Structure 1
Amino acid sequence: MLSKKLYVGISFYLDDQCSDIWANGAVQNIIFLYLLLKKLSIVENVSLVFLGNRTTPPKGLMIDDLEIKIESLNDVVDKLDLLIEGTVMIEPIHCELVHNNGGKVVSYRMGNDFIMEMESFVFNKEPGRYFNGCNYDAIWTLPQHENTCFSYFSIVGRAPVYILPHIWEPIFSDKIIEKLKKQKIIFGYQPGSKTKRIASFEANINILKTSYIPILICEQAYRKNPDLIKHIYMCNTFDKKDQKAFHNFIGRTDIVKKNIMTVERRYQMPDFLARYTDVVVAHQWENGLNYAYYDALYGGYPLIHNSTLLPVGYRYDGFNAYSGAEILIDVIEHHDANYEIYREEANSFLTNLSINNTKNIKSHEELILNLFK
């Protein structure tokens, strides 16, 4: 048992480079973690602790009404019982100060750092947020990163690694949905249309989530049955349109030659779903759980994906675009008949991700108690 309730700080990025809650899933993840930790009986205080000059969050993070406590890490570090490294990398001195007061330090790794470090190494890119000599008591990560990152995190971080459940709430989706209602725009899949609008939302920032397989799936489905596809929106590709490799790739497709597919910018996903989408086609490599999937499922939109970690939606194997195309055609022709069952299954799955789910609360509490044994 703990001798007292805990004062927990989670490092958080406030600067303008991350000014939109939809720009980075890790930012949402930290907000959900914060709200979950507030529910633990062993926690007295939770703060998002920042480093840097900015002291208030950008409006685009949409957290003003969530009653979130924000403090400077340097001001409170010697008071913390538990410091969780979140979206800001902490310094070894912070670890030392926490440890000097009998506290613990955890690194919460939400991204596939191993793959991103390999990209930095192979392509001589600017290195990202990895390790800097902090003395961690534990490293927490998520199920989608266990395969590639477990050994990397443990050996380089010199700490035991624990897998936490992926958590999600429709907090931010609901904010967008409320705005759409005021404009009389409906969020949620609308059965009835014989031809469908398809969208893909892969980030195209690294090789973990790219548009290449969704493009191949859509191209093959269009070649086989062009009358089923009304339009294809490939989001997060507009800034890539002049890259020679991408230009040559899409330039060979019928869906571009016949103006069926357009390259689009980054958008708030619930807004784009409501306005332009009937079917979502996704692809990932070693990143089987992400919030884009949950936004689609929340609206009952048919999600075609290749994630073995996702028990709902319509799954194809690996990089098999032929299989994905067959599934896409089948979804366009038959999803409407199965819509109610699909929606029930999606909602049941999303309930398992909730920060109010007893299993999720218990798993986080047990990991924290384990730190202080």
Structure 2
Amino acid sequence: MNRPPQLNGLRIGITIGLRAPDESLWINGIKQNALFLAKLLTASPHDHRVTLVNTTDVPLTDALPWDRMAYDTRTFGEVKDVLDVLIELGGQINAEQTAYLKARGAKLVSYCCGVEYINVMESMLFGRRLWNTLFINRGFNEVWAIPQIATSSLPYLQSLRRCPGRVVPFVWDPMFLTERTRRLRHHGEYRPSGAHAKRATVMEPNHDVVKFCVYPMLIIDEVFRRAPDAISFAHTTNAEYLAKSSPEFVMLMNYLEIVRAGKASFVGRFDTPDFLAELTDVVVSHQWENPLNYFYLEVCWQGYPLIHNASLAPDLGYYYPDNDVQQGAELLLRALREHDADWQEYTRRQRDILRRYTPENPALVAEYDSLLAHLIGASS
């Protein structure tokens, strides 16, 4: 009688796709996601050995922005003969590599953390080039999608890749944020400014329809009309190009009272922790079909009041549902008037909540072990 494979001591690879030997972790969230997942899987009591697997020809050196002793990082060629599971996350494996792993009996997972269906729609409808070539890998055993992108994109991915799909828990860790803010005053954490009028900030990427600045600006303007002395200024980052290239954006913004009063700016891209620490008292945000992201977690971990509509985390910050500008304005007004009286307890509460996404949460570690056990048909 054949015994089921054991869950203990799995050799797990998580792909990354380096573009440069010293590539920043902050270009996008993908490499952070790979490292967070590696840290979580390493925390398993089943003693998994986890390796970051680079799928490009970029050489692996000590210029990487993470410690290779802490996070084993190798090329595909170095690990292809020892892996039990490969999780494709930040770099794509090709057909030949897929066939090689499957012939060895390794299990393959496509781990998806982007709104891929929305990106594809926008590329096709609006001429935003997404691919030079396209390879849809149909060799995966399962597609794993984090909750915030599952509704829009998991059915699309599952159908194209012709394999089962699963919604898997979101994973995060403050380790890179902590390192990045070490040099900042108070480590970049929120401190009351002491001013009656507060500085509001909108930091949506404004790259697609998912995270865009118009609803946050409507919320800020609603409060400015009700209580003009409560907001000293509103900064909107990642919007300089809109102010220069979109007549529609300019015309619409010029209907807002806070813009007419000369108390709003539309500026370029900035480092989030620095901008928060230097120019922000409150953050106003909005998303569509992506109800949880790293930015929200970073803002709340640092103790800043966050007005948001992320339905997967209604206990974080100050939550308003859907596109409810009026409720968002009520919450912004409340934060402006009341947050400073409770800022220390707020920061403590936020961090307690956010630990559910980290390896400090044993239930989260156990959930991923259950996913792996199902994937390989293992006994514990």
Give the match's secondary structure for 1:105. Answer: strand
Distance 1:173 1:256, change over 3 A: same
Distance 1:262 1:19, change over 3 A: farther
In structure 1, what residue type is equivalent to 2:231?
Answer: I
With 143-152 and 83-92 compared, the bigger mean Cα shift is at 143-152
Query: Superposition pairs for residues 172-251 of structure 1, below 5 Å?
Result: 172-181=176-185, 186-190=188-192, 192-244=194-246, 245-251=248-254
Give the match's secondary structure for 1:189. Answer: coil
Residue of structure 1 equivalent to 2:118: 115
Contact 2:17 2:92 in 1 (8 A): no
In structure 2, what residue type is equivalent to 1:89?
Answer: Q
Structure 1 position 14 matched with structure 2 position 3:
no
Query: Superposition pairs for residues 131-210 of structure 1, below 5 Å?
Result: 132-181=136-185, 186-190=188-192, 192-210=194-212
Where in structure 2 are there 5+ consecutive unaligned residues?
none
Q: Where does structure 1 differ by over 4 angstroms across 4 or more consecutive aligned residues?
A: 128-131
Q: CA RMSD in A?
A: 2.4
Separation in structure 1 between the aligned mates of residue 218 and residue 193 of structure 2, nearest angstrom: 25
Residues 70-95 of structure 1, C-alpha deviation per residue, up to 9 Å, x if partnerless? 21113432332111111112212222
Residues 202-250 of structure 1, C-alpha deviation per residue, up to 9 Å, x if partnerless? 1111111111111111122112211111111111212332122322332
Contact 2:21 2:61 in 1 (8 A): no
Distance 1:136 1:186, change over 3 A: closer
With 262-271 and 90-99 compared, the bigger mean Cα shift is at 262-271
CA shift, 1:194, in A, is: 1.4
Give the match's secondary structure for 1:79. Answer: coil
Residue of structure 2 equivalent to 1:365: 369
**Could you state the TM-score of these two structures normalised by the residue count of structure 2?**
0.90
In structure 2, what residue type is equivalent to 1:120?
Answer: S
CA shift, 1:261, in A, is: 1.3
Contact 2:60 2:74 in 1 (8 A): no
Separation in structure 1 between the aligned mates of residue 181 and residue 359 of structure 2, nearest angstrom: 20
Residue of structure 1 equivalent to 2:100: 97
With 332-341 and 46-55 compared, the bigger mean Cα shift is at 332-341
With 249-258 and 297-306 compared, the bigger mean Cα shift is at 249-258
Separation in structure 2 between the aligned mates of residue 95 and residue 117 of structure 1, nearest angstrom: 24
**Could you state the TM-score of these two structures normalised by the residue count of structure 1?**
0.91
Separation in structure 2 between the aligned mates of residue 315 and residue 77 of structure 1, nearest angstrom: 45
Distance 1:240 1:78, change over 3 A: farther
Q: Identity over aligned residues, as a percent?
A: 29
Residue of structure 1 equivalent to 2:72: 69
Of 264, 271, 275 in structure 2, the residue corresponding to residue 268 of structure 1 is 271
Residues 165-211 of structure 1, C-alpha deviation per residue, up to 9 Å, x if partnerless? 11111111111221114xx7752232643111111221111111111
Residue of structure 1 equivalent to 2:309: 306
Separation in structure 2 between the aligned mates of residue 178 and residue 208 of structure 1, nearest angstrom: 31
Of 348, 351, 360 in structure 1, the residue corresponding to residue 355 of structure 2 is 351
Distance 1:58 1:123, change over 3 A: farther
Contact 1:221 1:329 in 2 (8 A): yes
Residues 310-348 of structure 1, C-alpha deviation per residue, up to 9 Å, x if partnerless? 122112221222322222122111222343443333122
In structure 2, what residue type is equivalent to 1:70?
Answer: T
Structure 1 position 82 matched with structure 2 position 85:
yes
Of 26, 29, 33 in structure 2, the residue corresponding to residue 25 of structure 1 is 29
In structure 2, what residue type is equivalent to 1:345?
Answer: R
Distance 1:141 1:298, change over 3 A: same
With 239-248 and 267-276 compared, the bigger mean Cα shift is at 239-248
Of 48, 51, 57 in structure 2, the residue corresponding to residue 47 of structure 1 is 51
In structure 1, what residue type is equivalent to 2:309?
Answer: N
